[in-house]
Structure 1
Amino acid sequence: MARAPLPAGAGTPAAVPVPAAADPAAPAGLPDPIAPAEGLSPLVLRYLEHVRVEKRLAARTVDLYTHDLARLTALAAQVPIDLLQVQPAHVRRWVAQMHGQGRSGRGIALILSGWRGFYTWLGREGRVPSNPVVGVRAPRSGKPLPKALSVDDAVGLADFESSEDDPWLDTRDAALVELLYGCGLRVGEVVGLDVVASPAARGWLDLDAGEAHVLGKGSKRRSVPVGSAALAALRAWLAVRGDTPGQAALFTGRHGTRLTAQSIWQRLRRRSLQAGLATPVHPHMLRHSFASHVLQSSGDLRAVQELLGHANITTTQVYTRLDFQHLAKAYDAAHPRAQRKKNP
């Protein structure tokens, strides 16, 4: 791809190739496959050193900033214009361009955040009179609904009996599914569960009381009832788990170490595919399914809020949209005035 020349001046960057179009399927906020290290101006490199050393941002964050500023450099090169001369009109044009290429509103918002921080720093350095990114907003994108399983799929996954010749793994994974779906726990809360309560425990089970005590977001503790199916699966797991000296974790791997969130994601995905589900299941999908199914059955939004550990009920209200979709489908299928007439 040809590189457009830039006028000489302080902060003038060399051009960086820009991909022809962003990948709409790429996760929001992830960089495009460009080479950010090529052609960055000394001013940009100074800023990246500033956020890395003085602000002590994580390496992943610095990497994302690098990609964002490489994108800014490339877009300025296409005008061409010096980075120190960028105006709000340029930024708005670039936002429209990225949106037209299929980038999500959330992804654009993350990119603008990186640009905004760069020009804020330039302003403190006395290099620009104003921040051209201030006041420029990303396009709004509809908030996606949580992905929840149908009742049949969720129950089918919970009842699934693996054909693997490893009863130890199968019993553990069955208990994981029952706990995630039966209690609506976050995967981090499940990882933190111990077999019994102790001063060092982040969470623990009380099988006699039928409760799980967990440490949720914001270090807030809550107690969640554990249903009979989950209790039976947990007792079966504890019977084969065995005792590992010094290891209090409820869910462990083969070597006796506490199971990680990544391991739970992998095992759940594998189990859902073995069960024949069309969509690979992840832990938070079971939490969404728990909330949606309880709300469909009870209609008690406050109870669902307490069970999920949401600080604000507006967070829980998203499940009313799922519940409405369920009712709308039932109406379309059952009501005689909802059914479309067949063409003669």
Structure 2
Amino acid sequence: MTSPAAPDAPPAAALAPDIERHLQHLQVERRLAERSLVLYREALARLQAFAEKQPVDLRRAQVFHVRRWAAQLHAGGLAPRSIALVLSAWRGFYRWLGRDGLVDLNPVEGVRAPKAAVPLPKALSVDQAVTLAEAPEAEDDPALAARDHCVVELLYGCGLRVGELVGLDVVAGSDAGGWIDAQDAMAHVFGKGSKRRSVPVGGPALQALAAWLSARPGLARSGEPALFVNQRGTRLTAAQVRGRLKRRALQAGLPTHVHPHMLRHSFASHLLQSSGDLRAVQELLGHANIRTTQVYTKLDFQHLAKVYDAAHPRAKKKP
């Protein structure tokens, strides 16, 4: 048995007076943007179409009506996030009617959209990450080439956020920045929620750092505390890191758009595959809740499933 498809929204000119007045309230008093008004109009048009098909007066709709309509939206192929937006518009409409005493209850309160699937973070394979880190330098300026190489080594080798990377200073002592202690092979960063954490720095990253520090005086302005600087000699920005990383990935021949957080995901995924120590990965990433880190166990399972599908004689090969 197939579920009934969600009805199409009626034309804008046929909207009920209550809905038109509410949209006017949103436009004049709430000053919603034009795009938001369009989305509200579409959502409330859907509500009216459901009520007319039931049929039920909009002011007499009950919770079971709204639950049924939300289920029909889902059966009709509307994504969970889109259903959540529709329900939010309906909830606001009935809340507005309730303030004027036109309804006794808000039938949308307590009705929730289906849970949206949490998208898995995209990570490079080990070979792709190594290719990116060891790619021959195509940059004409040796100083910029050394800087970009060091940036990649720290993002992938330490799992830093891009904000933590650009916040690094040459020496310790800043209240807001971080620094790298090459002697102890540790990076001390200032992360989310104003929390400091320390992560180990591997040999390749330390070598890249030494090369960059040798080249840095040719770019940095006098007195500039930032470890990484741009061509103007001032602190490198997150946007500049994204641009340079994208350029380097294209030059390395990688088939996907690479951004700084992808290297952090790759760091976590590869570390978990090798160690299986979820708590250690949590600490290295600076996650306050281990549930945030658990997404990488799904990435690891995906990797194992691909290996099985490709190698086992009894695996179900996809055509």
Work out the CA distance in 2 between the residues paired with 1:44 and 1:91.
25
2:176 to 192, 196, 201: 201
Following TM superposition, by how much is the alpha carbon of 1:191 offset from its aligned partner in structure 2, in angstroms? 2.2
Work out the CA distance in 2 between the residues paired with 1:258 and 1:86.
60
2:286 to 309, 315, 320: 309
Work out the CA distance in 2 between the residues paired with 1:255 and 1:107.
44
- Which segment is superposed worse, 153-162 or 134-143? 134-143
Q: Is the 8 A contact 1:112 1:133 kept in 2?
A: yes
Please say if 1:292 is aligned against 2:266. no
TM-score by length of 2: 0.80
Deviations 1:101-125 (A, max 9, x none): 5x53234324534553554455345
Identity over aligned pairs, percent? 57
Following TM superposition, by how much is the alpha carbon of 1:80 offset from its aligned partner in structure 2, in angstroms? 8.1
Q: Which runs of 5+ in 1 are unaligned?
A: 14-39, 53-61
Q: Secondary structure at the match of 2:180?
A: strand
Work out the CA distance in 2 between the residues paired with 1:212 and 1:64.
45
Deviations 1:272-314 (A, max 9, x none): 1221111111111111110111111111111111101111222
Equivalent position of 1:12 in the other structure: 20
Equivalent position of 1:239 in the other structure: 214
Q: Is the 8 A contact 2:66 2:108 kept in 1?
A: no
The one-letter code of the counterpart of 1:257 is T
The one-letter code of the counterpart of 1:12 is E
TM-score by length of 1: 0.75
Work out the CA distance in 2 between the residues paired with 1:202 and 1:67.
44
Q: Secondary structure at the match of 1:310?
A: coil
Work out the CA distance in 2 between the residues paired with 1:244 and 1:331.
54
Work out the CA distance in 2 between the residues paired with 1:129 and 1:159.
67
Equivalent position of 2:135 in the other structure: 160
Equivalent position of 1:186 in the other structure: 161
Change (3 A) 1:193 1:199: closer
The one-letter code of the counterpart of 2:206 is L
Work out the CA distance in 2 between the residues paired with 1:293 and 1:309.
17
Change (3 A) 1:336 1:251: same
Q: Secondary structure at the match of 1:41?
A: helix
- Which segment is superposed worse, 124-133 or 159-168? 124-133
Q: How many residues are aligned here?
A: 301
Q: Comparing both structures, which one devotes a greater share of its residues to helix? A: 2
Q: Is the 8 A contact 2:135 2:252 kept in 1?
A: yes
The one-letter code of the counterpart of 1:93 is W
The one-letter code of the counterpart of 1:41 is L
Following TM superposition, by how much is the alpha carbon of 1:175 offset from its aligned partner in structure 2, in angstroms? 1.2
Q: Secondary structure at the match of 1:205?
A: strand
Q: Which runs of 5+ in 2 are unaligned?
A: 1-9
Deviations 1:227-264 (A, max 9, x none): 11111112212222224234212222211232222222
Q: Is the 8 A contact 1:91 1:132 kept in 2?
A: no
